[in-house]
Amino acid sequence: VSTVQVLLGERSYPIRIRPGSLADLGEALVAEFETSHAVVITSKPVAARHFAALESGLLRAGIAFEPLLIPDGERAKTLRVAAGLYDRLIEGGVTRQTLLVGLGGGATCDVAAFVASTLLRGLPLVQVPTTLLAQVDASVGGKSALNHPRGKNLIGTFYQPRLVWIDPDVLATLPPRERRAGLAEIVKVASIWDADFFKWLEENAGAVLGLERDALAHAVARACGIKAEIVGLDERDAGLRALLNFGHTLGHAVEVVNGYRHVRHGEAVALGMVFAARLSERRELAPAGTAARLVALLARVGLATEIADLQAQRPAYLRALAVDKKGADGAIGFVALREIGRAELVRLTADEILPGAV
């Protein structure tokens, strides 16, 4: 059992990580909020696997609740789905005391957070993430997001949940490919922030992937802890939080060039991290051997580390990078590694990131 506190003044909240605890959420809700009514936002595949446990706890605690189903995964992240939830909640007599519970992967959590942050100018929100990625990444930081036809996550708010409830045991039903993709984000926070944790992963990544209880709970707690620390220092994404984009500049480009459908976000981030580590070495920002350690760890997790079509598809990658352009100087904020456990934001042009011939 461990608790990670996300410290954001009056918006602080706990992340509770307890294997086998899904059925205990009801009691916790009664203890932490004086509520007798909750609405659970979830999708069919997740509900089929995990709603029964949650339901038994809510019943036991005497909480009146109602499940609201939304489409599975990314398809739920639309204004239309959000509007449908507003309709059903308003027809159901929502008040500012109605607790919204998001049960599912990062996509479901994003939609639940968006609706909680906007309906009646804010409803209390409890997140119950059920994928490894959502547990270590989407559950910390308070970003809600919907997609626009022109791009992912273009619509959203900052909104902190009141509680995040993580039962790592729910990952037993998660396909191995999704587990590996989630592990990429764990490797990411270790790479930028905590060399000891990186070393621990080098020894224990197999146990985490195999869902060994202690190892998994430790990895989830430490990853949440690192992200919580960074977000606590920079809630509104003004500087430091950009380090969490390590591997994401090229990662996004990999997703765009290959199509979001074909590559999992974590898989793209793994490729992007290796690319970034090699670039850091080439620019003499990181000592030789840094990228090799990252490659070895990711390979142990079963994640691909080489972008096969980078030179052949260079124009497409450059176009994708151009979308990331932020400053007036045409440079891109790129997260470089200084060593394992330490990162730094540097500004590079697309040409410096992807030179014509390497």
Q: Where on the chain is the footprint of ligand NAD (CB under 6 A)? A: 43, 45-46, 49, 72-74, 77, 104-108, 110, 130-131, 133-134, 137-138, 141, 143, 145, 153, 170-171, 173-174, 178, 265
Smallest distance, ligand NAD to C-beta of residue 286, A? 25
Q: Are 248 and 50 in contact (CB under 8 A)?
A: no
Smallest distance, ligand NAD to C-beta of residue 37, A? 25
Amino acid at 309: D
133 vs 320 by CB, closer to ligand NAD: 133
Smallest distance, ligand NAD to C-beta of residue 153, A? 5
110 vs 281 by CB, closer to ligand NAD: 110
Of 28, 33, 39, the C-alpha closest to 1 is 28
Smallest distance, ligand NAD to C-beta of residue 330, A? 27
Residue nearest ligand NAD by beta-carbon distance: 106
108 vs 160 by CB, closer to ligand NAD: 108
Of 296, 111, 270, 273, the C-alpha closest to 177 is 270
5 vs 153 by CB, closer to ligand NAD: 153
161 vs 280 by CB, closer to ligand NAD: 161
Q: Are 317 and 257 in contact (CB under 8 A)?
A: yes
Smallest distance, ligand NAD to C-beta of residue 6, A? 12
Tokens representing 111 are 């939609």
Smallest distance, ligand NAD to C-beta of residue 36, A? 28
Of 34, 93, 22, 104, the C-alpha closest to 63 is 34
β-sheet with 99-104: strand ranges across: 2-6, 13-17, 163-166, 125-129, 99-104, 37-43, 64-70
Smallest distance, ligand NAD to C-beta of residue 266, A? 7
224 vs 354 by CB, closer to ligand NAD: 224
Smallest distance, ligand NAD to C-beta of residue 129, A? 7
- DSSP track, 59-110: HHHT-EEEEEEE-SGGGG-SHHHHHHHHHHHHHTT--TTPEEEEEESHHHHH
28 vs 109 by CB, closer to ligand NAD: 109
136 vs 279 by CB, closer to ligand NAD: 136
Containing 346, the helix (H) or strand (E) segment is: strand 342-348
Rounded Cα gap, residues 279 and 343, in angstroms? 13
Rounded Cα gap, residues 44 and 36, in angstroms? 24
- DSSP track, 156-196: EEE---SEEEE-GGGGGGS-HHHHHHHHHHHHHHHHHH-HH
Q: Which whole-number Å values give the CA distances from 229 to 13, 234, 281, 296, in the listed order?
A: 13, 9, 27, 27
Smallest distance, ligand NAD to C-beta of residue 82, A? 14
Write down the H helix ranges in the chain. 25-32, 44-61, 79-91, 106-118, 132-133, 176-193, 195-209, 213-233, 248-258, 265-282, 290-301, 314-322, 350-353
301 vs 310 by CB, closer to ligand NAD: 301
